[in-house]
Amino acid sequence: MTTKSAPSEILTQALSRQGLWPDAEIALAVPAVASPVHRGVAHHCYRVTEAGKASLFCKVPADDQEDLMTASAAAAMATLAGENNVAPLVAWFDPESAILATDWLEGAWRYARVEDLRQPACLQTIIARLQALHEATPTDGIVRHDPAARLKRQDGMLRALPVDRPPNYDWLADQVVRAIEALAPGQGAAVPCHLGSIASNIMLGPNGALLLVDFDQAALSEPLHDFGILLTEAFDFEDEWTDALSPLFGAKTAEAVHRARLWGLIDDFTWGQWGLICHGRAQRTEIEYFKYASWRFMRATLTAGDWSFERRLRQV
């Protein structure tokens, strides 16, 4: 993939390769934000429209993100999700540019906010969408999530950059390793997971419609990995986690909460690493990567420093 052309030019070239719309109108669809909302950062996002035809939502990978995700695996999972009514349908994927095109969501759609996730009806619908994805049969190209490998790879990237890490970075990394090791024995069969169910990756539409978007980190893992990311975003208190998971896990709810909390910790820390890597590369200084990383590290510190952390490690 070339990095010399403007993103819109790369998109125009991909449209040509697909044999599509030589006279299409291309407009920026999502401004990049990471403060602390994480939206539209890994890609330049465009709406592509031609008169008389349905619009497409096209994602052009940003130059500073290419080694932080695997576009083909993300496309495979997005395709699976679309086919199972969990996400917008994938129109095409261009391997040369790694551009993914999906159906444009017409009508009154918006990104969810954290307060939406806390509403019982919305939360139940999100969980139902995740369960539908978990029950789907994996297809070729979908990879298995390896939290230890991601942590190690991003740690190496981070240490090679001229950026200050949090004072407790090494201690926090050690706690995350302990969490990964504690979770490993209890994992069952790995299933397709979104691994990105933060508010800005959940689209709310007319008449209660809800779809998931952004499958950049999606992979095979255990369902509680997904639920841990979602509930870390939505709730602060233990009883809220228990109420959310008890309909799914019954007598095993306490263990499920422990596992989900540990997955939330791992997710926060690795996204904190990601934020500092992007900050250290200094390619898009208008995006508040450092602020985003600080938020994620702070939340990870609260989880790892809580008195119940040691109990969670022993009861998963």
Where residue 301 sits, what CATH number does that domain have?
Answer: 3.90.1200.10
Does residue 304 lie within any of the structural domains? yes
Mark whether 286 and 137 lie in a shared domain.
yes
Mean pLDDT, range 158-168, rounded to an integer? 96
Q: Which of 103, 119, 149 is the last residue of a domain?
A: 103
Mean pLDDT, range 46-57, rounded to an integer? 89
Full strand arrangement of the beta sheet holding 25-30: 25-30, 43-49, 56-61, 99-103, 90-94
Sign of CA dihedral 128, 234, 261, 149: positive
Mark whether 89 and 122 lie in a shared domain.
no
Mark whether 98 and 115 lie in a shared domain.
no
Mark whether 69 and 123 lie in a shared domain.
no
Looking at the 3D structure of the chain, how many domains does it have? Answer: 2
pLDDT tens digits, one per residue of 98-134: 999 999 999 899 999 999 999 999 999 999 999 999 9
Higher pLDDT, 96 or 19: 96
Q: What is the pLDDT of residue 4?
A: 60
Mark whether 179 and 299 lie in a shared domain.
yes
Mark whether 167 and 280 lie in a shared domain.
yes
Does residue 285 lie within any of the structural domains? yes
CATH number at residue 51: 3.30.200.20
**Does residue 52 register a pLDDT over 80?**
no
Q: Which of 103, 138, 157 is the last residue of a domain?
A: 103
User: Which stretch of 19-33, 52-66, 125-139, 302-316 has the lowest confidence by average pLDDT?
Assistant: 19-33
Could you give the CA distance from residue 265 to residue 180 in angstroms, rounded to a whole number?
10
**pLDDT band at 68; cut points 50, 70, 90:** very high
Does residue 219 lie within any of the structural domains? yes
Mark whether 203 and 300 lie in a shared domain.
yes
Does residue 149 lie within any of the structural domains? yes
Mark whether 253 and 295 lie in a shared domain.
yes
Domain range for 271 is 110-314
Q: What is the pLDDT of residue 219?
A: 98
Please check whether residue 5 is in contact with residue 13, taking contact to mean a CB–CB distance below 8 angstroms. yes
Mean pLDDT, range 228-255, rounded to an integer? 96
Q: What is the pLDDT of residue 167?
A: 97
Does residue 47 lie within any of the structural domains? yes
Judge residue 51's burial from the number of C-beta atoms within 10 Å of its C-beta, 0-12 exposed, 13-18 middle, 19 or more buried.
Answer: exposed
**Does residue 230 register a pLDDT over 90?**
yes
Dmax (CA) for the chain in angstroms is: 61
Predicted TM-score (pTM) of this structure: 0.95
Mark whether 155 and 95 lie in a shared domain.
no
Mark whether 91 and 121 lie in a shared domain.
no
Does residue 64 lie within any of the structural domains? yes
Does residue 1 lie within any of the structural domains? no
Does residue 2 lie within any of the structural domains? no
Q: What is the pLDDT of residue 35?
A: 79
- Which spans in the chain are helix H? 7-17, 71-83, 114-117, 120-134, 147-159, 169-183, 223-234, 238-249, 253-281, 289-305, 309-314
Q: Which of 86, 103, 120 is the last residue of a domain?
A: 103
**pLDDT band at 160; cut points 50, 70, 90:** very high
Q: What is the pLDDT of residue 285?
A: 84
Which amino acid appears at position 220 of this protein?
L
Which amino acid appears at position 83 of this protein?
E
Please state, rounded to an integer, the average pLDDT across all residues of the chain.
94
Mark whether 142 and 235 lie in a shared domain.
yes
Please check whether residue 35 is in contact with residue 42, taking contact to mean a CB–CB distance below 8 angstroms. no
How are beta strands 43-49 and 25-30 bridged, if at all? antiparallel
Mark whether 135 and 164 lie in a shared domain.
yes
Please check whether residue 21 is in contact with residue 49, taking contact to mean a CB–CB distance below 8 angstroms. no
